[in-house]
Amino acid sequence: MKKLLYILLVVVGFACESTINPTLENAEKILVIDAWVNQKMERQEIRITRSQSYFDNTQPTKVAGAIVTVEDLNNGAIYTFQEGTDAYFWEPNGTPFGETGHQYRLTVTTNGETFEAQSTLGRHVAIDTIMFHHEEKNLLVREAHYEAEFFATDPTGLGDAYWIKTWKNDQYLGKPGEINIAVDGGFTASQAVDGQVFIQPIRRDLINPLDKVPDKQNEFLPPYLPGDKVYVEIHTIDQQAFDFLWAVYYHTNHPGGLTELFTIPLANAPTNIKNTQGGTTKVAGFFNVAAVSTKAQQLTQEIANQAQQK
């Protein structure tokens, strides 16, 4: 018995110290179309690239020579995206993209293959106000601080979906755990939250960054202090876009463990883009058209003092 135990320990020790240099086969390249178009009065960009090998950390390069258009299926208007250095672009020139309730079709033609997707431009939701709350120090944040909260109301009618984006001091909160999406006024479509103010986790919890204090395992920096600024955008999305963003959130924010063996790769996250001519090229990414509402608020000393008194 002791001899068997000794052999087992030797084998385990050897396994722990051995360096493994796996040889990975080059995976089939996938066409990636990143087409999130919105009504903001700024250049709209559609990025078309190809997937890269696992160990390639370089910035993906644009697929050149593609023909990229978005068609309004309600009135026949065609938006032609011109080829630029890193992406294909369209300029508003005084008129925002699209109309609420209209359906749009993206068409990308490249290397003899055509890819299409459809999306409907959802209803605009105004952000009424942004306020700040004063919070005393706690187990996570070891000093007095402030938390931001926005207020917006979902319009009556089931199925409206949203992507809420937040910036602190002009820095986008883009970590996987900071993806903030909603259906109606909550996390799932429901009569209980339809037509209501967004629930607290959406309007408050997910717009307050929790960045770790350097060299401190369980201590976080204050979300906001006097002088900081918060900027919030609400983008309308359709249900397919919600499912896509949920898959991205889940598979990039999922804890490790045995269950990781059974999760799908991001390349297989749901996409609404299809190869229309039976070609062999696989495609990933997403197409969505969005109405956008925005609101910014700086935490001035006056606002901070008022928050302390509440």
| Number of folded domains that form the chain | 1
Residue 165 lies in a domain: no
Q: Which residue has the tokens 């135990």?
A: 5
Per-residue pLDDT reduced to its tens digit, 158-204: 999 999 999 999 999 999 889 999 999 999 888 889 999 999 999 99
Task: State the pLDDT at residue 51.
Answer: 85
Residue 59 lies in a domain: yes
Q: What percent of the chain has pLDDT over 90?
A: 73
Residue 305 lies in a domain: no
Per-residue pLDDT reduced to its tens digit, 281-296: 999 999 999 999 999 9
Radius of gyration of the chain (CA): 24
Per-residue pLDDT reduced to its tens digit, 139-161: 899 999 999 999 999 999 999 99
DSSP states along 294-305: EEEEE--HHHHH
Q: Which helix (H) or strand (E) holds 171?
A: strand 171-172
Tell me the Ramachandran region of residue 11: left when phi exceeds 0, alpha when psi lies from -120 to 50, beta otherwise: alpha
Domain span holding position 62? 31-122+269-293
Residue 9 lies in a domain: no
Q: What is the CATH number of the domain that holds 108?
A: 2.60.40
Residue 78 lies in a domain: yes
Q: What percent of the chain has pLDDT over 70?
A: 85
Task: Name the more confident of 263 and 280.
Answer: 280
Task: State the pLDDT at residue 269.
Answer: 75
Q: Which residue has the tokens 């309600």?
A: 74
Given a contact cutoff of 8 angstroms between Cβ atoms, the answer to whether 135 and 288 are in contact is no
- Mean pLDDT for 234-253 is 92
Average predicted confidence (pLDDT) for the chain: 88
Confidence of residue 262 (pLDDT cuts 50, 70, 90): very low
- Tell me the torsion sign for CA atoms 14, 15, 16, 19: positive
Residue 50 lies in a domain: yes
Residue 153 lies in a domain: no
DSSP-H helix ranges across 27-86: none
Residue 67 lies in a domain: yes
